[in-house]
Amino acid sequence: MTLDPVRDRALSRRSFLRASAVGAGALGATSLAGCGSVAPGGTTPLAYWNFFTGGDGARMVDLINSYRAEAPDVDVTATTLEWGSPYYTKLAMAVEGGRGPDLATLHASRLETFGLNLVDSWDLAELEARGITLDQFPEPVVERVTLDGELKALPLDTHPLVLFYNTRICEEAGLLAPDGSLAPIQGAEAFLDAGRRAAEVTGANGIAYGTNDALASFMLFWSVFNQLGGEMSFPEGGPAVVDREAMVGAMDFIATMCDGTIASKTQDGAGAPAAFASEQAGFLLIGPWEVATAQTAGIPFSMTQFPALFGDTAYCRADSHSLVLPTQRSTEPEVRAKAYDMAVSLLRNSLSWAEGGHIPALSEVAESPEYLALDPQSNYRGAAQVAAFDPAVYFAGSGSTFMSRAGQSLQGVGTGALTPDQGADDLIAWMDDQLALGSPL
């Protein structure tokens, strides 16, 4: 849940949730289905909440319907809520009010933000009884969802920063390998040079990049920061312990790239994929979900893993759509068992989910001939092994206050309003202020 730092000086997240419990109960009794007991007719009611819309929403409906076909004795009620703060707020309120769903989707990066006490741990024995073991998932993802030795979320996918490229433009720019794929890009200078050469072909920009978009700018910053060996930690009360040299280095790379030719100084989040779709850029830096945009545009394109610009390891910012078991006041064993069944079904049927760009988390899908045949979706599957998740602190994660505020600093750097040194100081000062306020969890 994204928190307002001013409001939350006086009002803690816990007191806010408790004060809102009655409202959450009313929601659960009407449009938001909560948990229930086994019905007299023998069917088991199962409530599942998610935040997927658009192409992902349609694919999730298909996955849910697949489970319904597998389990006709289960009455699944699926509820889709608005992505971001509205979703996490309503889910937290519902759990606190005793009206939470039996199964829900959560970004792995939001576990701390959401509240670890609001989700139950997954029972590894129950998963193993259904043929699921932790060695079937990418190690970085397992590490992110395992806290204090407990599996707090079950990964459905990994969605990293990826590099889209227009094959026609890149061919004209001399950037393709003999097999028609993008020739390996080794190092930051090679990447910037590829952007310049693509710009010569387009007559506009070489790289479409959301300079003014918090998500796009943070994904690039966090990838480069990790490639530079950057680390940060957040002691209670602050100040933040930050590798300032790596932070300045990552911001300096962004400032160099956003020169108006390689990448725009002013492009927004929607403008970047639109520019790539209209062939006003040879490359696009964003998450893999924009594959549908490029496919719909009918342009000649492919996708590849974000390259190693600094160092030997191509770390890339990533997150994971994961499944959680919201804490119940009273857990019906039959309902909980069906929640496990449905979660495993979603994982095993996630080939269709991968068509939307996400890397399947379960190895039996990620290593299947069907997934490997998906082009270009399987081209960047190695990114799951070098995924760099957001810092594990209460104000970070996808759609969080940290991402939004970091986006402001990065926007200043990208537009030239702030130097990399000023951008680093600006972001670090904000992090120190957050820590001084104390955790509201």
CA distances, 333 to each of 42, 46, 338 (Å): 14, 12, 9
162: left (phi over 0), alpha (psi -120 to 50) or beta: beta
Q: What's the mean pLDDT in 405-423?
A: 98
Rounded distance between C-alpha atoms, residue 1 and residue 399, angstroms: 9
Q: What's the mean pLDDT in 201-217?
A: 98
Rounded distance between C-alpha atoms, residue 286 and residue 409, angstroms: 19
304-348 pLDDT tens trace: 999 999 999 999 999 999 999 999 998 899 999 999 999 999 999
Helix-, strand-, coil-residue percentages of the chain, each rounded to 5: 45, 15, 40
Q: Among candidates 372, 376, 312, 359, which has minimal Cα distance to 165? A: 376
Of residues 1 and 133, the one with the higher pLDDT is 133
What integer pLDDT is reported at residue 441 of this predicted model?
65
Which CATH architecture does the domain made up of 160-318+400-437 adopt? Answer: 3-Layer(aba) Sandwich (3.40)
Q: Which H helix or E strand runs over 250?
A: helix 244-257
Residue 27 has pLDDT above 50, yes or no: no
Residue 364 has pLDDT above 60, yes or no: yes
129-167 pLDDT tens trace: 999 999 999 999 999 999 989 999 999 999 999 999 999
Q: What's the mean pLDDT in 423-438?
A: 96
Q: What's the mean pLDDT in 116-138?
A: 96
Least confidently predicted of 38-42, 249-253, 369-373: 38-42
Q: Are 318 and 329 in contact (CB under 8 A)?
A: no
What integer pLDDT is reported at residue 25 of this predicted model?
31
For the chain, the C-alpha Rg in angstroms (whole number) is 22
149: left (phi over 0), alpha (psi -120 to 50) or beta: left
* Mean pLDDT value across the chain: 91
Q: How confident is the model at residue 38 (pLDDT cuts 50, 70, 90)?
A: low
Least confidently predicted of 117-121, 174-178, 181-185: 117-121
What integer pLDDT is reported at residue 439 of this predicted model?
82
User: Which 8-state DSSP code applies to residue 383?
Assistant: G
Q: Are 323 and 348 in contact (CB under 8 A)?
A: no
**Long-range CB contacts for residues 351-356, cutoff 8 Å, separation at least 24:** 352/59, 352/62, 352/63, 353/56, 353/59, 353/60, 353/63, 353/156, 353/157, 354/157, 354/378, 355/59, 356/55, 356/56, 356/59, 356/288, 356/289, 356/291, 356/292
Q: Which amino acid is residue 254, in one-letter code?
A: I
What integer pLDDT is reported at residue 39 of this predicted model?
52
Q: Are 286 and 161 in contact (CB under 8 A)?
A: yes
Q: Could you check whether 7-156+320-381 and 160-318+400-437 share the same CATH topology?
A: yes
Contacts of 321 (CB under 8 A, 6+ apart): 105, 107, 108, 155, 156, 157, 159, 358
Rounded distance between C-alpha atoms, residue 354 and residue 346, angstroms: 12
Of residues 187 and 112, the one with the higher pLDDT is 187
Where are any strands of DSSP class E within 19-110?
44-50, 74-80, 103-107
Map out the domains of the chain as residue ranges: 7-156+320-381, 160-318+400-437
Rounded distance between C-alpha atoms, residue 294 and residue 277, angstroms: 5
Q: How confident is the model at residue 115 (pLDDT cuts 50, 70, 90)?
A: confident
Rounded distance between C-alpha atoms, residue 339 and residue 324, angstroms: 10
Rounded distance between C-alpha atoms, residue 318 and residue 407, angstroms: 16
Q: Among candidates 33, 153, 155, which has minimal Cα distance to 101? A: 33
Q: Are 335 and 341 in contact (CB under 8 A)?
A: no
CATH class belonging to 7-156+320-381: alpha beta
